[in-house]
Structure 1
Amino acid sequence: MKINIINIVSGINDVNKLEKIYRDIEGITSNSNDGINLSKKSNLEDAIVKIREGVTYQQILEEQNYKPINFTEFRKLADQIEWEHSLDELLAILD
């Protein structure tokens, strides 16, 4: 039952509808003694990250602490992976 509710709510993108659902759930749970403790933050818009304009690609890379690697380093890491099946076996599955 919980997963069905989660799936339905996850598909809703309208902030107003989400706020109404939140208020309804908050009202239901605040009157019960089942140990549910919802955050006091009822304004979902405060939890939404705003899109910043004018951000450069370089700024994003720096903020995410992006460290590129070259092909040789990538190949070295990839060769360390122990695959359960060979490439030929994986390709055969696609046929």
Structure 2
Amino acid sequence: MVNLRELRYSLIDVIMQTDDTKKLRHAYNKLTQGDLVNPEHGQSTRDKPRTIDLKHQVDLQIIRSQQNISPLSFDEIAKMNQNEEWDQSLEELLASID
């Protein structure tokens, strides 16, 4: 699978090797006019918002509620890790942090 960076460089190479003005104009229009469809969402790139609203003086509780997540309790974490084997003692782990 080609990553985004490789795809961009490949596209630049193809553009630089193209001598047909008509093809280049067509490709430019497709890329700049939002006619391309986002394959992940099946919608035009033109539908995406280009700006975001910045909020001032946002409350931490509001942010947490909008993220729709809840913190894990110690008991939940202990339950998830009860079968884990540790290669080092707690003292060794704490010493490695220093």
Shorter-chain TM-score bucket reads 0.3 to 0.5
Which fold has the larger relative contact order, with Cα–Cα distance below 8 Å and residues 6 or more apart in sequence? 1
Q: TM-score, normalised to structure 1's length?
A: 0.41
Between Structure 1 and Structure 2, the one with more strand by share is: 2
